[in-house]
Amino acid sequence: MVKPIITSVLILMILCALLLINYAYKRRKMPAAKYFIMLLISAIFYGGAYIGEMNAPDLTSALVWFNLQHIPIPVQHYLWLLMSMEYARASKKHLQIAKYAGLYHPLLYIAIFFTNSYHGLYISAYRFESNGYFSVIITEKGPLFFLMVASGTLLGMIAMFYYLRGLLRATGMHRYGYLVMITSSILPWLTVYLNATNTSYLGIDYFPVVSIFSGMLYIFGIFYLRVFNTIPIATEIVFKQAKEGVILIDSTDYIVDANEAFLKIYPDLNVPAKGNFTSFLEKHPELNGISDENPVPQFTLRQNGQARYYSAVITKIVEEELEIGQILTVNDITLFVDNQKVLEDIASTAIDKAEINEISFLQAQINPHFLNNTLSVIGAMIKRDPEGARELIGNLGEYLANRCYFDSTSSMVLIEEELEAVRTYVAIEKTRFGERLNFQIIHTSTPALNIPRLILQPLVENAICHGILKKGAGGNIWLMIDHDEEKINFKVKDDGVGMPPEKLLRLTAEEKHNEGIGIPNIHKRLIKNYGAGLEIESRLGEGTIVAFSIPISGARA
């Protein structure tokens, strides 16, 4: 009766593994999922072979299945290592080293095992004995057996190191995902040592049996904690690195997680159960009434006896037109408010600093539609293209850093830094608009020279928004840079819809005509610094060219 029960349990393990493979395959691009699939395949191979061994009538037949089991055993050790490293987001360099260096274990293991008949140093003797219910193979282990156990233990220790490192870095519920991965790996390992010491009850190899419990943990982790997901990566970037306070609210109004910056502002939220978002708002009247359409531009909180200023905004998380949650972002604008007060006091006399303030104001302007659309694209890409979503999150973070965290003491920047800001912005827009937008930078070399901060990116942005995207089929933008011994020449050209003559005149006129802050501001700064501003040519239906030059003598780094 015992043998049919154990056989049924093993068949259940195989069926469970097949279901997990089907689920994981649909998410095979997520971190560690592909190694998890390969691990399941090897587990099926192992379990099937062990079913054959348990039901074999004699030692010769049992040894055939016993030998087959030893093909997936070392492969599983190897796959466990790679799965743990990719799940814990080890560096590409370390993962690449592990892929090649770790192959020593399965290759050496298989070579030693399948040459055992010549040297007898892995297993010195086999016996086929009854345990009171059915016959099992009893082995006498040799020194090479324990060498390979030690080798597998080394791989397991490395895997555990990466899991523990990831656990320490993880936030919120994702810590439980790491605990599932750790526990699911340790359980089968314990049976290896039972088998090595011949202390298994009834002489049974409990590795495939215990794998059932590991599989149940994986099911819980995958379906409830979503262990194979890109969210841990996103939270590490947003939560660990963001200077803003951020909380995530799900569609049921439950606060899923809060980053450290937010908990410093609202320490009363720093409890295991974050609770209901509406209840949180009731405790904090300064946020009452906030919504995605109604941000709170400025409010004051006292911290350590001092007043600090904040702004708050809510952004919906939308995936495939379905709202799945919200993000509340709280920004510390104390420095901005304090600087604004100082600037108001000295505005009448600080003419030179007024330019820097104007640049800072321009740099801080972020189109809310652009930001909301980009976040929506990220939400839509998380499942269908997690690698693309990760790259877009990085680009957005770099764009926000360039726009918001500026050096208020300098109005100049290296050309290459300004070009990097242009590349980041265009990369985000290309993710949204695809083939409708083609962009190219044409230059032979980038001299290490300074130009006014935030002077190229607004021109490219203007060409995209007002030139190309108003054209149904999209179009092309070229940023061309050349230089001689006397000056550096810049030109932004597009084949968009163009501009009528009257609008062209207003862009560079002395009076303000509410044509936007970008081009008039750039034109004025160029005239102030170099005596000449923008030269704009445009024809309706053909496109626009915006050009300017900077003397080499005025641009030395």
User: How far is it, in rounded angstroms, from Cα 297 to Cα 4?
Assistant: 69
Q: Looking at 123-137, 222-236, 265-279, 280-294, which range is the least confident one?
A: 222-236
Task: Return the structure tokens found at 29.
Answer: 């691009």
Secondary structure string (H, E, C) spanning 140-196: EECHHHHHHHHHHHHHHHHHHHHHHHHHHHCCCCHHHHHHHHHHHHHHHHHHHHHHH
Mean pLDDT to the nearest integer, 194-219: 67
- Residue with structure tokens 């090649």? 100
pTM, two decimal places? 0.44
pLDDT at residue 264 above 80? yes
Task: Return the structure tokens found at 412.
Answer: 């100049």
Q: What is the pLDDT of residues 479-507, one digit of tens each?
A: 999 988 888 999 999 999 998 888 887 77
pLDDT of residue 516: 43
Name, of 337-346, 465-474, 484-493, the range with top average pLDDT: 484-493
Closest CA to 66 of 46, 41, 44: 46
* Local confidence band at 364 (pLDDT 50, 70, 90 cut-offs): low
* Residue 56 near residue 65 (C-beta atoms within 8 A): yes
Q: What is the average pLDDT score of the chain? A: 79
Mean pLDDT to the nearest integer, 243-253: 82
pLDDT at residue 85 above 70? yes
pLDDT of residue 346: 67
pLDDT of residue 103: 93
pLDDT of residue 222: 59
In the chain, % of residues over pLDDT 90: 13
Amino acid at 455: I
Q: What is the pLDDT of residues 365-421, one digit of tens each?
A: 555 656 666 677 677 677 777 777 777 777 777 767 666 555 555 668 888 888 888
pLDDT at residue 9 above 50? yes
Mean pLDDT to the nearest integer, 176-191: 76
Angle at 43 between CA 40 and CA 44, to 5 degrees: 90
Secondary structure string (H, E, C) spanning 66-123: HHHHCCHHHHHHHHHHHHHHHHCCCCHHHHHHHHHHCCHHHHHHHHHHCCHHHHCCCE
Of the two residues 492 and 8, the one the predictor is more confident about is: 492
Task: Return the structure tokens found at 331.
Answer: 């920004």
All structural domains of the chain, each given as residue ranges with its CATH number in brackets, are 2-229 (1.20.1070.10), 235-330 (3.30.450.20), 350-557 (3.30.565.10)
Of the two residues 358 and 66, the one the predictor is more confident about is: 66
At CB < 8 A and 24+ separation, what contacts does 265-272 make? 265/301, 265/303, 265/310, 265/330, 265/332
Closest CA to 286 of 267, 271, 266, 304: 266
Phi first, then psi: give them for residue 515, nearest 5 degrees: -95, 10
Of the two residues 39 and 367, the one the predictor is more confident about is: 39
pLDDT of residue 513: 45
pLDDT at residue 122 above 80? yes
pLDDT at residue 158 above 60? yes
pLDDT at residue 226 above 50? yes
pLDDT of residue 514: 44
pLDDT at residue 546 above 90? yes
Closest CA to 128 of 53, 233, 32, 30: 53
* Cα radius of gyration rounded to whole Å, the chain: 32
How many C-beta atoms lie closer than 10 Å to residue 507's C-beta?
Answer: 20
Q: Looking at 250-264, 356-370, 457-471, 484-498, which range is the least confident one?
A: 356-370
* Local confidence band at 96 (pLDDT 50, 70, 90 cut-offs): very high
pLDDT of residue 511: 47
pLDDT of residue 32: 76
pLDDT of residue 105: 93
* Local confidence band at 312 (pLDDT 50, 70, 90 cut-offs): very high
Q: Looking at 45-59, 242-256, 510-524, which range is the least confident one?
A: 510-524
